[in-house]
Structure 1
Amino acid sequence: MVRAALFDVDGTLVDTNYLHVTAWWEAFRQAGHTVPMTAVHQAIGLGSTDLIEHLLGAGRDRRQDEQISGTHAALYATHFERLSAVEGAADLLRALAARGWKVVLATSASGPELKALRRVLDADDVITGTASADDVDEGKPAPAPVLHAMELAGATSGETVYVGDSVWDMKAATGASVTAVGLLSGGIARQDLVEAGAVEVYRNPADLLALLDSSAFSRVGNGG
């Protein structure tokens, strides 16, 4: 039996969400849009095009999308050398790998951004694969990223747990019929994660690691 532990990265394993918020806020401002930071925060976890549409609407001037996305990417990239992992992130991945779980990242990040995140996480030795934004036609909350990550692990939905910090993560996991576990490390409220499908919610990876033996990981794949 294969057991797959799938993880979002931004806000879940690496402490980046609020950097993304300020970068997106400034990118929108430079394009002439005033978007509240609270609204941007709630949208973090969506892919770039989906995030822009979520915040500006389908009737926006789509000719601005590339400029907005590019500005965000450039601003966020200035933080690459100062990023830090969330407490317990690498330890959790290594603990799961030691117990026989295949660890796969399922993230909206790609290219240099994903490379920077993996460098900070420093756990490539236990990561089986990565499903990035470049690998699927639809990003979260569509289940495609989770389904692709499951394929990389060779696991079924009943053998899989997905860990993320956003509403979009929880919706993508439940859409793929996968057990969804939420973390508060990205700043999203516990109730919001539960309403989106999280069966359990923990403060951060360290908290989940401390309670691993009583978590969803102890039941998935074991008939629980």
Structure 2
Amino acid sequence: MGRGVEGPVRRGAFTSPAGPGTRELDEVRALFADPAGRCVLFDFDGPICRLFPGDASKDVADAFWKLVSERGLHDVIDPADLHSKDPYDVLRDVARERPGSEAVTAFEDLLTEGEVRAAQCAPATRGAHELIRELWRRGARIAVVTNNSPRAVASYLHRHGLSDAFGPHIYGRGPDADQLKPDPDPVLRALAGLGAEPGDAVMIGDTVSDLVAAREAEVRFVGYARDDREAAPLRAAGAGAVVRALAPLIGLLKVPPQGSQGSRGSRGSRGSQGR
């Protein structure tokens, strides 16, 4: 499949608040400077691509609310989510109040269908594919840790020729919506599947939920934010390293020994397509 067009990569720099975040920033720099055998966990929607750019998730959200009305489920929706355009809010609410029900399955199927459809045309995040390929080539163990459907992630990676870089290591939404990030479950599954220790890992995410999940799993965190508006909540939540582009991470990778290749043999043997 084609690799897609990401556009020119604009070099940028880390931003970090003064204080405790400096230590984490230095640790991230050290990890990327010698990535062989280390573990890098990518959130999917944001750091790898824009699954629902702009208001693209509106159609899925509208379908969710139609299903809520048809099944008379307004009473199980959190009042704070009654006007939400985010289908994940509705899924969490229904799963919390009606765990294991046929209604949860119906919402999950609807969301997965929308995500898989969106993955067929989702634009790549600038620099993401280059970073993934360089990490893989230099022997890093990489995985996707996401609240999205593993089917949607697998479809996107296949379309862009990135499936081999991740192998089976896609840790996405399973049948238990209570274990979506900020719950650390997908991060912990990724570490187990890759055979990695938290101290050897870093997660790249773009939301406070990603940050909390990484912290709970004792994994270092790099925030990705395209502008000040997106960076503000990450910094407010204590993110020690925030990048405006992924190019700075590529720049941290040292030139490897001549002839080095991605160490497929070092990758964990236990993958997961959600559970």
- Residues 66 and 27 of structure 1: CA distance in aligned 2, closer, same or farther (over 3 Å): farther
Aligned CA distance change for structure 1 residues 20 and 119 (closer, same or farther; 3 Å): farther
Relative distance call for 1:212 and 1:25 in structure 2 (3 A) is farther
The corresponding residue for 1:132 is 172
Q: Which protein has the bigger helix share?
A: 1
Residue 186 of structure 1: CA displacement? 10
Which residue does 1:9 correspond to in 2?
A: 44
Cα distance in 1 for residues equivalent to 2:228 and 2:108: 22
Rounded Cα–Cα distance in structure 1 between residues aligned with 2:163 and 2:227: 22
The one-letter amino acid paired with 2:109 is: G
Question: What TM-score, normalized to structure 1?
Answer: 0.73
The DSSP-based 3-state class of the residue aligned with 2:120 is helix
Asked if 1 retains the 8 angstrom alpha-carbon contact of 2:146 and 2:186, the reply is yes
- Using the aligned pairs only, state the percent identity: 26
User: Which residue matches 2:138?
Assistant: 99
**How far is the alpha carbon of 1:28 from its aligned partner?**
3.3
| Secondary structure at 1:169 match in 2 | helix
Deviation at 1:175, TM superposition (A): 0.5
- Rg: which structure is higher? 2
1:35 equivalent to 2:87? Answer no
Name the aligned partner's letter for residue 164 of structure 1: G
Listed as ranges, the gaps of 5+ residues in structure 1 are: 214-224
Distance 1:98 1:197, change over 3 A: farther
Question: Residue type matched to 1:205 in 2?
Answer: L
Which of 110, 115, 118 is 1:79 aligned to? 118
- Structure 1: which amino acid aligns with 2:37? V
Q: Secondary structure at the match of 1:78?
A: helix
Q: CA deviation at 1:131?
A: 2.1
**CA 1:27/1:130 → structure 2, altered by over 3 Å: closer, same or farther?**
same
CA distance in 2, matches of 1:8, 1:74: 20
3-state SS of the aligned residue for 1:189? helix
Structure-2 separation of matches of 1:9 and 1:118: 10
- Partners of 1:186 and 1:78 lie apart in 2 by 27
Greater RCO (CA < 8 Å, at least 6 residues apart): 2
Structure 1 residue 55: Cα displacement: 6.2
Query: Which one of 175, 183, 198 corresponds to residue 142 of structure 1?
Result: 183
Change (3 A) 1:110 1:25: closer
Identify the residue that residue 117 of structure 1 maps to in structure 2.
Answer: 156
User: Does 2:90 align with 1:52?
Assistant: yes
Deviation at 1:185, TM superposition (A): 4.9
Find the aligned partners of 2:227 and 2:172 in 1 and give their Cα distance. Answer: 19
Task: Tell me how large the CA RMSD over aligned residues is.
Answer: 3.4
- Give the drift of 1:207: 4.7
Residue type matched to 1:35 in 2? H
Cα deviation for residue 133 of structure 1 reads 2.6
Structure-to-structure mapping, 1:124-203, within 5 angstroms: 124-128=163-167, 129-134=169-174, 138-185=179-226, 189-203=230-244
Deviation sequence 1:76-135 (CA, Å, 0-9, x none): 443343222211111101222233321122122335312222124432232252223349
- Gap regions ≥5 residues in structure 2: 1-35, 75-81, 255-275
Cα distance in 2 for residues equivalent to 1:169 and 1:145 = 10
Per the alignment, do residues 84 and 55 of structure 1 end up closer, same or farther by CA in structure 2, a change over 3 Å counting? same
Match of 2:109 among 62, 70, 73: 70
